[in-house]
Structure 1
């Protein structure tokens, strides 16, 4: 059924669908990034496609392997027709400048935090996003940690603890450790219920 969606896309958008392929049950269309939002809206609104469920959005960095450098990847599902599709748009250049694409928040409100995460980790700029700012890293963080040219041993600048009302203080010496590393000193013979 998803192959039918690829055929519909090719007939509706023609040369703006750069390529399509199916692999391991996943049907994919690589699309013109300038038509990203228009194609997404069509997939949602067209009764034959009925892609009414936004599933996931992320990016992939192909540093030195592909030009343009990034692919933004969108996964959609039709609950009504029980099929799914993957859309990809290639953006940016080798220097990661021009990694811009239209935001899908006007099409699916659920794309909001996914796009913020993609911006935070890869530096992809979603044009028209209502609140494009970091979501996982702190605002002073320098760079984009999931880019392939981000140095793994990079030290980030230290920032002062912000005084925010009703905010919890930093972890104590015995807090925030992985479960297996915690030590508890219980006197012998005492119950720990």
Structure 2
């Protein structure tokens, strides 16, 4: 079992290095502005102090007025985990940066979130449906899908 690194501790450290990039934190997560997502995810992976070397999963949550994109990271060497979230508002043209250049394992996960929730990952090398066929209309895990 992994032990969660305090989101507040990480947010305090990141806030010094990336001012105004962290919008909220709690015991087990941090919220990051979408425009700062790539640099913060890369920092969390590459910095020995954190060493979040494994991307467990990427998912999204539909809250009607906005979507949260949720990244579960782990440090295998330090036996720690952290949830990084970013928020995009609206229902149409939802875009967050791709982290495939940081974690290659994000490839299919980002495509799945796009396919089922309709959130595009800017900079993804092959942003297309992965679960449903190309002609499928809509994104079936959205709350407004009927």
TM-score, normalisation: structure 2? 0.92
Q: How does 1:133-172 map to 2 (within 5 A)?
A: 133-151=128-146
- CA distance in 1 between partners of 2:124 and 2:80 (Å): 28
Unaligned 5+ residue runs, structure 2? none
1:14 is aligned to 2:19: yes
1:109 is aligned to 2:104: yes
Q: How does 1:34-49 map to 2 (within 5 A)?
A: 34-49=35-50
- CA distance in 2 between partners of 1:43 and 1:122 (Å): 26
- Count of residue correspondences: 141
Give 1:61's aligned residue.
62
Aligned-partner SS, 1:116: helix
- CA distance in 1 between partners of 2:103 and 2:118 (Å): 21
1:78 is aligned to 2:75: yes
Q: Does the aligned pair in 2 maintain the 1:92–1:98 contact within 8 Å?
A: no
Aligned-partner SS, 1:35: helix
The structure carrying a bigger strand percent of its residues is 2
RMSD, aligned α-carbons: 1.2
Q: CA deviation at 1:92?
A: 3.1
Q: CA deviation at 1:123?
A: 0.5
Q: Does the aligned pair in 2 maintain the 1:92–1:100 contact within 8 Å?
A: no
Q: How does 1:23-34 map to 2 (within 5 A)?
A: 27-34=28-35
Unaligned 5+ residue runs, structure 1? 152-193
- CA distance in 1 between partners of 2:127 and 2:102 (Å): 16
Q: Which has the larger radius of gyration?
A: 1
- CA distance in 2 between partners of 1:28 and 1:17 (Å): 11
